[in-house]
């Protein structure tokens, strides 16, 4: 869920304020300027070929993603949301089935389950990583459970060892929602290539983002890969012969060509995000905010790629307003957990059912973290956060006045 409206640089402009952002939340223009000629050449190649759907660039991207992730197969599709749905379809998930996932994530995770007539079953998150709490997983498994869908939120791997152990004991496939985490690693392995299938999104704001929607499912199971290819093309293996009910979810050649250019730069962009994360942490220490602000954690064995840099404070809303008034852009991922969204009221959940997720929704705040972010810009962000916490609160000013 986006807060505000996107501006032309890919940022999200705050609502109800006359103060312009001093720099964008996400600067896609800066990224494009660094690869402009490569992208335009790739687009020209596709236009001259007049091959717009699937085709050589799509096949090449699939091969390159598979090699990057370390799996045997990569099957592209039209969006990250479709990637989740296609993966579930490839494992035969449908009406009457249950799939376990977390309520603190983007709606596509649970919607992909519900869209197939299956039931999302939520379990709460770990308060430090914001990922599915594997200690709660086994208690949620029933005779109708057919899959587990952990989310690698904000670019950090979920606790996959324990999830995989539980899935093996119950003979359940693990479908990784790695939409925000391409390039993240868990004990040396790429996320998406640890469970049975992994799903990526190429939405423009992602670490590997296209010029529109796009998605990919990776797997090392040849039967699953074959089913994915049939399902994404209306259920056709050959033209006008529909062997199953599929969907129209093919990646455009233009998107593939652009993504192939960007994929070459992904390691350096990930390193820049990691550098910026370290810089933020050093700045928070420099300004004495270590005990005031909860910063992202990186558990042992994990490589975080920081699709978002999310801090946490009980005074989140007041802090965000203060930053907006100074032109500092921020975002909230996510303002409401899925179990309290109107679309999922039929699941029967209530406020208080997942308290860790609900509390996180009231306290998390994402700061700019894109690769081109300058040190001076980060210092400005932290200086303004420090000024907010140094200022007397309204409550204490009122008390002093009395």
Tell me how many helices (H) and strands (E) the chain has.
Answer: 12, 16
Which residues neighbour 1 within 8 Å (Cβ) at sequence distance 6 or greater? 106, 107, 334, 335, 336
Q: Are 127 and 356 in contact (CB under 8 A)?
A: yes
Please tell me the predicted confidence (pLDDT) of residue 47.
95
Full DSSP string of 80-136: HHHHHHHHHHHTT--TT-EEEE-SSS-THHHHHHHTTT-EEEE-PBPTTT-SB-GGG
Is the peptide bond preceding residue 253 cis, with omega within 30 degrees of 0?
no
Measured distance CA(61)–CA(14) in Å, rounded: 36
Q: From the CB of residue 346, how many other CB atoms can be counted at a distance below 10 Å?
A: 9
Q: Label the pairing between strands 215-219 and 197-201.
A: antiparallel
Which residues, listed in sequence order, are joined to residue 74 by a DSSP beta bridge?
218
Give the pLDDT confidence score for residue 13 in this predicted structure.
Answer: 40
Per DSSP, what are the bridge partners of residue 323?
none
CATH assignment of 37-259, given 3.40.640.10, 3.40.50.620, 3.30.230.10, 3.40.50.2300?
A: 3.40.640.10
Distance CA 288, CA 282 (A): 10
Q: 125: which strand partners?
A: 132
3-class secondary-structure state, position 252: strand
The residues, ordered by sequence, that sit 6+ positions from 227 with a Cβ below 8 Å of its Cβ are 89, 90
For the chain, percent of residues with pLDDT exceeding 90: 87
What is the distance between the alpha carbons of residues 386 and 367, in angstroms, rounded to a whole number? 14
pLDDT for res 393? 59
Task: Single out the residue of 339, 366, 348 nearest to residue 124, CA to CA.
Answer: 339
Arithmetic mean of pLDDT, 334-347: 97
Residue 296 DSSP code? P
Nearest to 179 by CA among 145, 205, 159: 205
> How far apart are the C-alpha atoms of 206 and 129, rounded to whole Å?
19
CA separation for the pair 218, 221 (Å, rounded): 9
At residue 287, does pLDDT exceed 80?
yes
Encode pLDDT of 74-93 as tens digits: 999 999 999 999 999 999 99
- The per-residue DSSP string of 218-229 comes to EES-HHHHHHHH
Is residue 366 scored above 90 in pLDDT? Answer: yes
- Residue range 5-32+264-395 forms a domain whose CATH class is alpha beta
Q: How confident is the model at residue 17 (pLDDT cuts 50, 70, 90)?
A: very low
Looking at residue 21, its pLDDT comes to 84
Q: What band does 242 get if pLDDT is binned at 50, 70 and 90?
A: confident
397 pLDDT higher than 70? no
Q: What is the pLDDT of residue 5?
A: 35
Interatomic CA distance for residues 370 and 277, integer angstroms: 10
Residue 215: strand pairing partners:
77, 201
Domain ranges for the chain, please list them: 5-32+264-395, 37-259
How far apart are the C-alpha atoms of 297 and 129, rounded to whole Å?
Answer: 7
Strands 5-6 and 12-13 come out as antiparallel
How far apart (Å, rounded) are the C-alpha atoms in residues 181 and 270? 10
Q: pLDDT tens digits for 208-229?
A: 999 999 999 999 999 999 999 9
- Residues 62-80: what's their mean pLDDT? 97
**Calpha distance 64→221 (Å, rounded):** 17
pTM: 0.91
Is-contact 199 178, C-beta < 8 A? Answer: yes
Report CA-CA distances (Å) from 65 to 14, 109, 113.
Answer: 35, 22, 25
- The SS3 assignment for 289 reads coil
CB-CB neighbours of 183 under 10 Å:
25
Secondary element (H or E) of residue 380: helix 375-390
Residue written as tokens 């007539």? Answer: 117
């Amino acid at each position: 869920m986006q807060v505000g409206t996107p501006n032309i640089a890919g940022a999200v402009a705050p609502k109800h304020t006359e103060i312009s952002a001093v720099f964008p939340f996400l600067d896609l223009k800066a990224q494009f300027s660094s690869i402009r000629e490569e992208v335009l050449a790739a687009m020209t190649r596709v236009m001259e070929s007049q091959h717009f759907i699937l085709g050589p660039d799509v096949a090449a991207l699939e091969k390159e993603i598979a090699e990057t992730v370390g799996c045997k197969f990569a099957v592209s599709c039209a969006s990250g949301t479709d990637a989740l749905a296609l993966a579930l379809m490839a494992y035969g998930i449908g009406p009457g089935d249950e799939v376990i996932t977390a309520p603190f994530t983007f709606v596509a995770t649970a919607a992909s389950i519900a869209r197939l007539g299956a039931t999302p079953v939520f379990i709460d998150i770990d308060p430090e990583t914001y990922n599915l709490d594997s200690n709660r997983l086994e208690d949620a498994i029933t005779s109708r459970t057919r899959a587990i869908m952990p989310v690698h939120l904000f670019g950090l791997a979920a606790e996959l060892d324990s999830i995989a152990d539980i899935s093996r004991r119950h003979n359940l496939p693990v479908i990784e929602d790695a939409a925000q985490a391409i390039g993240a690693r868990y004990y040396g392995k790429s996320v998406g290539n640890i469970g049975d299938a992994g799903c990526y999104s190429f939405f423009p704001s992602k670490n590997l983002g296209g010029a529109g929607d796009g998605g990919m499912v990776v797997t090392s199971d040849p039967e699953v890969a074959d089913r994915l290819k049939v399902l994404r093309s209306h259920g056709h293996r050959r033209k006008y012969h529909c062997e199953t009910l599929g969907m129209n979810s093919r990646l455009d050649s233009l998107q593939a060509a652009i993504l192939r250019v960007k994929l070459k730069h992904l390691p350096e962009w990930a390193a820049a995000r990691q550098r910026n994360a370290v810089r933020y942490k050093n700045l928070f220490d420099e300004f004495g905010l270590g005990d005031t602000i909860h910063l992202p954690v990186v558990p042992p064995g994990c490589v975080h790629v920081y699709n978002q840099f999310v801090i946490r404070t009980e005074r989140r809303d007041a802090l965000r307003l203060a930053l907006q008034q100074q032109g500092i852009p921020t975002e909230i991922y996510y303002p409401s957990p899925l179990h309290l969204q109107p679309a999922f009221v039929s699941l029967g959940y209530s406020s208080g059912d997942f308290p860790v997720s609900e509390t996180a929704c009231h306290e998390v705040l994402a700061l700019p973290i894109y690769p081109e972010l300058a040190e001076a810009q980060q210092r400005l962000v932290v200086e303004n956060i420090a000024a907010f916490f140094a200022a007397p609160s309204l409550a204490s000013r009122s008390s002093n006045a009395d």
